[in-house]
C-alpha cells in the first residue's frame, strides 16, 4: 500500500513513463488501453480523480469506480494482467489508484475475441514517455520474444545486415522503410532483419509518440 507521502510525490512529479492521471473513469476501452500499456512496458500507476494539470477532483463513488476498473481489466484485457486497486484521501478528496505490474506474458492486447494474436489487427499498446501508444508490428514481435526469453546466438551477418550497419554509421538510426529502400527488399524482409538484430542484442528498437518504430545500435538512445 502506498503512503500518502508517496502518492503526493507522484502527483507533484506529474505524468511519466510509469504514471498516468485520469480526471474520471472515461470508458472501459480507455482504461484497458492504459493498463495494457503499463503491463507491456515496466508497469505503473493510474490515478483516477487527478487531472493532467495535477488538480485533485476526486471520485464520485468508490465502489462504482472500482467495479468499472475491475471490468476493464477482466473483460477488456487479453491475457489477464496483474493489478491492484486502492483508494487514498488527498486534499480531502478520495482518489483511486490502480497499480499495474509488468507482465510476464507480453504482449497484452485489447479484447478481440481471437484465439491468438493477429499481428495486423491486434490493439497492443506500450508506454512511451507520458503517453500510451499503439505498438508497431516490430514492437509487438519484440515483446513476443521478450516474453519467451529467447535471444539469437551465433547470428550470421549477411548483406542486409551490413547495409544496416553502414546506414547506421552515417545516420545513427534506421527504419523498416529505409532498410527496404537501401537493400531493395520488401518491407516484410526488412522488418524481419531488424527484429533479428534486436534479438541478437546488436540493435535497440525505439517507438515514437505516433507509434512508429526506429532502430539504433545497442547502447544508443
Mean pLDDT across 205-211 = 85
What confidence category does residue 34 fall into, taking pLDDT thresholds of 50, 70 and 90? very high
Phi, psi of 6 (to 5 degrees): -65, -40
Query: What mean pLDDT, rounded, does the chain reach?
Result: 91
What's 211's DSSP letter? S
Q: Would you state the CATH architecture of domain 4-135?
A: 2-Layer Sandwich (3.30)
CA 216 to CA 173: how far, in whole Å?
5
What is each CA distance from 32 to 26, 48, 50, 113, 181, in whole angstroms? 11, 13, 18, 15, 37
Q: What is the pTM for the complete model shown?
A: 0.83
Burial class, 87, CB count within 10 angstroms (exposed 0-12 / middle 13-18 / buried 19+): middle
> Which range is least confidently modeled, 37-41, 107-111, 134-138?
134-138
* Residue 111: band (very low, low, confident or very high) from pLDDT cuts 50, 70, 90: very high
Q: Is the peptide bond before 107 cis (omega within 30 degrees of 0)?
A: yes
Q: What is the mean pLDDT of residues 116-120?
A: 91
Mean of pLDDT values over 160-179? 94
Domain positions in the chain? 4-135, 143-217
% of the chain residues with pLDDT over 90 = 76
What mean pLDDT comes out for the span 203-210? 87
Q: Which of 9-23, 29-43, 58-72, 149-163 has the lowest mean pLDDT?
A: 149-163
Residue 4 in this model has a pLDDT that exceeds 90? no
* Res 219 pLDDT > 70: no
Core vs surface per residue 98-121: b (16+ CB within 10 A) or e:
bbbeebeebbbbbbeeeeebeeee
Q: Mean pLDDT, to the nearest integer, of 103-122?
A: 93
- What CATH number does the domain located at 143-217 have? 1.10.10.10
Answer yes or no: is pLDDT of 2 > 90.
Answer: no
pLDDT for the residue 154: 64
Amino acid at each position: 500500500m502506498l503512503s500518502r507521502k508517496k502518492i503526493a510525490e507522484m502527483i507533484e512529479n506529474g505524468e511519466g513513463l510509469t504514471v498516468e492521471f485520469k480526471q474520471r473513469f472515461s470508458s472501459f476501452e480507455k482504461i484497458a488501453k492504459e493498463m495494457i500499456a503499463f503491463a507491456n512496458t515496466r508497469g505503473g500507476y493510474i490515478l483516477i480523480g487527478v487531472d493532467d494539470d495535477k488538480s485533485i477532483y476526486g471520485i464520485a463513488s468508490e465502489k462504482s469506480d472500482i467495479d468499472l476498473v475491475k471490468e476493464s481489466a477482466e473483460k477488456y484485457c487479453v491475457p489477464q494482467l496483474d493489478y491492484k486497486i486502492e483508494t487514498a484521501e488527498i486534499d480531502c478528496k478520495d482518489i483511486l489508484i490502480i497499480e499495474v505490474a509488468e507482465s510476464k506474458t507480453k504482449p497484452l492486447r485489447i479484447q478481440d475475441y481471437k484465439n491468438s494474436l493477429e499481428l495486423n489487427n491486434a490493439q497492443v499498446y506500450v508506454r512511451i514517455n507520458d503517453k500510451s501508444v499503439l505498438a508497431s508490428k516490430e514492437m509487438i514481435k519484440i515483446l513476443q520474444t521478450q516474453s519467451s526469453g529467447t535471444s539469437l546466438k551465433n547470428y550470421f551477418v549477411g548483406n542486409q545486415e551490413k547495409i544496416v550497419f553502414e546506414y547506421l554509421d552515417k545516420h545513427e538510426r534506421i527504419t523498416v522503410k529505409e532498410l527496404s529502400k537501401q537493400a531493395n527488399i520488401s518491407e516484410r524482409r526488412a522488418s524481419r532483419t531488424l527484429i533479428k538484430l534486436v534479438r541478437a542484442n546488436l540493435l535497440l528498437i525505439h517507438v515514437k509518440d505516433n507509434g512508429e518504430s526506429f532502430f539504433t545500435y545497442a547502447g544508443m538512445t
